[in-house]
Structure 1
Amino acid sequence: MSAALERWEPDILGLSHAIHADPELSGQEFRAAKRVSRLLRTAGFSFDEPQPRLPASFSARFGTGELVVALCVEYDALPDIGHACGHNVNAASAVGAALALASVADDLGITVKVLGTPAEESRGGKVDLMDDGFFRDVCFAMMAHAAAEDVIGGTSLAMGMWDVLYEGRPAHAAAAPFEGINALDALVVAQTAVALARQQLPTGSIVSLIVTEGGSAVNVIPERTRASVEMRSPSLKDLRVIEERVRRCLDAGALASGCTLKVTPTGNAYAELKQDQYLSEAYRDAMLTRGRAVAFNNEPVASTDMGNVSQMVPSIHPMLGYDVGGAAHHTAEFAAHGSSASADRAVLDGAFGLAMAASAAASDPCQRERLVKG
């Protein structure tokens, strides 16, 4: 596998740099998907029939073994700041692991399945692929995520997202304000209610709300306002509690103002991440041979649709560290480091770690039986 990574190194790093230089938003990663698919075809991967219905996704495989390992390839960027979450590193390390595993697939008796999983930053493309059955034959799933340091074992927060629309009736704000039904009032009441409710939410919960439309002119009573709400919690169970309470806060705005309310979920709810202990330890051991000391830390880190995958099949989602100059995720400063020499080394090391973890599981009779039987 090391030899395979060395052989494919220019292509793997070229893929990382190309995706980094050409950021595409969630659900629109068509060029990234084509780049990955082209490399996989060159390496002898076949593409499943049918393909996923989700735009910018794909399903490819190599080998015919009963132990099916899925490598999840993320490649979406963020508006205005590009790959500020390092998904070019995520994509290239997963593809590198797939190429390494393909070189020993027959020896290990495995099938290497590569899934292009778009829209992680928005609707959660992995959940759509799950719903459409593309994880049904998978025994375990893997990917690594760009970060400032190497960490394994962490969890994530469950997350739900809503679009909120209040509609009232416009009127002249000076001549006849009493004829209007103020949609901005509804949103102010709701936002205030959410702020007050935070104290009683389950521990570790986070509710974020932004106004995306607040009116058109200062002398017109706003007839329409919109907001985006994001709710996070340590588990899906607690998330349902938050959703119920936030919905009551939104209802309060409509009741107080006389407006109508429409709440639309945006994308899929994200489950909390659950990482497989054996695969985590095998990954850590492999990374030690690359000179990387990977820390174990079970603290929740943001939210990911890989959490949903991990609730279905054994999974790992280690954080893959490189020098980001102290920058935080989702900043332009973080994005600037995504094609550095340090990031390139992380891509190759992460690919090796994932491939070796899969190899260890495939070579251990007890683990193999556990994973095949599910």
Structure 2
Amino acid sequence: MTSAQDTVLGLHRTIHAHPELGLEEHAAARALVAAVAELGFDAELGLGSLPTAVRAEAGSGELVITLCAEYDALPEIGHGCGHNVIAGAAFGAFAALAPLADELGVTVRLLGTPAEENAGGKVTMLNEGAFDGTHAALMVHPAGEDVPWMDPLASGILMVEFTGREAHASAMPWMGANALDAMTIMLTAIGLARQQLEPYQQIHGVIDHAGSAPNVIPGSASGRWMVRAADKDSLQRVVDVVRRCAEAGALAAAVTVSITEGPFRYENLTPDAELTAAYIENLARVGRTAAAPWPKAGSTDMGNISQRFPSIHPMLGLGEPGVVIHTPALAALAGSAAGDAAVLDGAILLAATAIDAALTPQLRARLLSDSPLATEATQKG
């Protein structure tokens, strides 16, 4: 009979060995469902509009602890963000808590949350009710060292497309309307605007298309921009900056512009102070030491969850403080013995923090009263 530890490690190694992009994590989602079945529980594959989302529950207590498992990868570099470790640790915590759930008076919910990198799976799941009834949402994220909390920014995506008119670049260039010129003006305007941006506002992007041949005036040009800010209000102001820069390019080059925003924005992450304190206290119990917090940076769909429910999103060290996330170096670590250790320690840390939430009377009472959807779920009966 395979031990629970073997199942946990087997899951994260399988996910690491077969990286899949967001919304395409079919093998990873099936592997998570199979791993839950090995524990003797049922898991649902496909939730709402997301076929690669997963849900499993154990226990029937009033306090609902939700564990978030990510498993999407990055283009070309695979698990350079270490989501295989996130999935393994969340599943491991579920495996540890499930037999204790009723004794602790909790319901342990494991959610496989797809597409954190590219499509905000948690936001869709939140909107479609998968998190309903949650009192605390927990996850860990791998990094070089153990950082007790992240401070990610709010973010959004803007797609910009300029449409002009093609013409021969030598014979009759005056007959064209140059979409690449508009893009160039937009980029220049953004570069100049950066000196007036507010603290923590960021703009970065890529050009996807800007003409087909050097002897043809480009009739179309398109790109994608990510904007970030400390909170949703500041985010709206920096979105407006990018829009004005795009409109300026279109006006100057006498072309048209289409600006389309992604279906939702990531909100800034606000970790729960008491749950974070419990997590930090448990770090020492697994032989880890909390490193200095990171500055505000990055973005995650867990931010949206944290704005609705008490949440934690600490960074779990892989033993190399200098490693940079979203790189092949972190991908290699996530699939190594260091990744194995992080998965097992992460499972213990999440489970121990959940137990603290269940058994600390004041914390438990606050969680039961704080969750905005808990009341709604109770009223539904």
Global fold match (TM > 0.5): yes
* Structure 1 residues 1-374: aligned runs within 5 Å: 7-47=3-43, 51-295=47-291, 297=293, 299-324=295-320, 326-374=322-370
Q: Secondary structure at the residue paired with 1:151?
A: coil
- Secondary structure of 1:19's partner? helix
- Deviations along 1:334-373, one digit per CA (max 9) or x if unpaired, are 2111121122111111110111111011112221111112
Moved more, 267-276 or 18-27: 267-276
**Structure 1 counterpart of 2:27, one-letter code:** R
TM-score by length of 2: 0.93
Contact 1:48 1:61 in 2 (8 A): no
Provide the rounded CA distance (Å) in 2 between the counterparts of 1:369 and 1:327. Answer: 39
Q: Which moved more, 1:322-331 or 1:147-156?
A: 322-331
- Code of the residue aligned with 1:309 in structure 2: it is I
Which region of structure 1 is more displaced relative to structure 2, 55-64 or 237-246?
55-64
Moved more, 166-175 or 45-54: 45-54
What secondary structure sits across from 1:113 in the alignment?
strand
Segment drifting more, 166-175 vs 39-48: 39-48
How far apart in 2 are the matches of 1:73 and 1:48? Answer: 14
CA deviation after TM superposition for structure 1 residue 290, in Å? 0.9
For 2:47, the aligned partner's letter is Q
Query: Amino acid of the residue matched to residue 172 of structure 1?
Result: H
Measured after TM superposition, the shift of residue 199 of structure 1 is 1.0
SS at match of 2:151: coil
TM-fit CA distance, 1:11: 0.8
The C-alpha deviation readout for 1:222-252, integer Å capped at 9, x for no partner, is 0111111011112111111100111111111
What's 1:3 paired with?
none
Shift of 1:46: 3.2
Quickly say closer, same or farther: Cα 1:49–1:319, change in 2 above 3 A.
closer
Cα distance, 1:177 vs. partner? 0.8
Q: Which runs of 5+ in 1 are unaligned?
A: 1-5
Instruction: Look up the SS of the partner of 2:307 in the other structure.
Output: helix
- The one-letter amino acid of 2:112's match is G
CA distance in 2, matches of 1:249, 1:333: 36
Q: In the TM superposition, what whole-angstrom CA distance separates every residue of 1:68-92 from its partner, at most 9, and x where no partner exists?
A: 1111110011111110011101110
CA distance, structure 1, for counterparts of residue 293 and residue 325 of structure 2 = 18
**Letter of the aligned partner of 1:138 in structure 2?**
T
User: Does the CA-based 8 Å contact 1:130-1:136 persist in structure 2?
Assistant: yes
Checking the alignment, whether the CA contact within 8 Å between 1:158 and 1:270 is kept in structure 2 is yes
State the alpha-carbon separation in 2 of the partners of residues 190 and 59 from structure 1. Answer: 44
The worse-fitting range, judged by mean Cα deviation, of 316-325 and 211-220 is 316-325
The CA distance in 2 between the partners of 1:50 and 1:209, in whole Å, is 32
Deviation track 1:154-183 (CA, whole Å, cap 9, x = no partner) reads 311111111111111111111111111111
Alpha-carbon distance in 1 for matches of 2:110, 2:264: 22
CA displacement 1:174-205 (0-9 Å, x = unmatched):
11111111110110111111111111111121
The one-letter code sitting in structure 2 at the alignment partner of 1:96 is G
Alpha-carbon distance in 2 for matches of 1:298, 1:314: 20
Task: Tell me: CA distance 1:26–1:267, structure 2 relative to 1, closer, same or farther (3 Å).
Answer: farther
Report the Cα distance in structure 1 between the residues aligned to 2:352 and 2:345, rounded to whole angstroms: 10
- Could you say if the C-alpha distance between residues 309 and 325 of structure 1 is closer, same or farther in structure 2, counting changes exceeding 3 Å? closer
Q: SS where residue 170 of structure 1 aligns?
A: coil
Shift, 1:299, TM fit: 2.6
**CA contact 1:191–1:209 (8 Å) conserved in 2:** no
Distance 2:251 2:244 in 1: 10
Q: What letter is aligned with 1:137?
A: G
With normalisation by structure 1, the TM-score equals 0.95
Shift of residue 298, structure 1, vs aligned partner: 6.1
Partners in 1 of 2:4 and 2:332 — Cα distance? 25
AA matched with 1:133? G
Q: Closer, same or farther in 2 for the Cα pair 1:82/1:159, shift >3 Å?
A: same
Q: CA deviation at 1:292?
A: 0.7
Contact kept, 8 Å, 1:97 with 1:351, in 2: the verdict is yes
Per-residue CA deviation, residues 276-327 of structure 1 (Å, 9 max, x unaligned), is 1111111111121111112352632411110110000000001000134833
Decide which moves more: 221-230 or 45-54: 45-54
- Distance in 2, matches of 1:283 and 1:147, equals 16
Secondary structure, aligned partner of 1:119 = coil
Q: Give the counterpart letter for 1:62 in structure 2.
A: A
Is the contact between residue 46 and residue 52 of structure 2 (CA under 8 Å) also seen in structure 1? no
Contact 2:135 2:367 in 1 (8 A): yes
Give the RMSD, CA atoms, in angstroms: 1.6
